[in-house]
Amino acid sequence: MKNKRLILTGLIIFFAIVTVPLWYNLFSGKKPAAPELEYTAKAKAAKVCVEPTAFMKVNHMELLYMWRESVVRKGERTYVNSNGKKFNMSLTNTCLDCHSNKDKFCDRCHEYSSVRPYCWDCHNVKEKE
């Protein structure tokens, strides 16, 4: 009997110590700050992306997947956005034309979200000199 109490007490203490970070974050009410993105001069001048900012924050990967399928499988290279404006379907020549600083734009959100996209396995970013 005595060993059962010690084991149970030890398990409760272990569980309490291991879950302290969870309880702290749950009850502190603090939300982690979203990363500050640095836009290039070209992106600031354009003021709009391929689609509205709210759409791009949530759906940019789906858009890129759709572009990949359209270009590779169907041979279509022109995207018409929700406002009727036409864009070339190209991560390298369209997206990275404005968002050319991968470290200060793409990587900040991806690291914040703990996402490791495989875009960069094929698409190269020009090194800054």
Query: What are the extents of the domains in the chain?
Result: 1-30, 41-121
Q: Which residue has the higher pLDDT, 74 or 34?
A: 74
pTM: 0.68
pLDDT at 106 over 90: no
**Which residues are CB-contacts of 49 (< 8 A; sequence separation ≥ 6)?**
43, 56, 98
Mean pLDDT across the chain, nearest whole number?
Answer: 87
pLDDT at 119 (0 to 100): 83
pLDDT digits (tens, 9 = 90+) for 41-61: 888 888 888 999 899 989 999
> Which token pair is 94?
């369209």
In this prediction, residue 22 has a pLDDT band, given cuts at 50, 70 and 90, of: confident
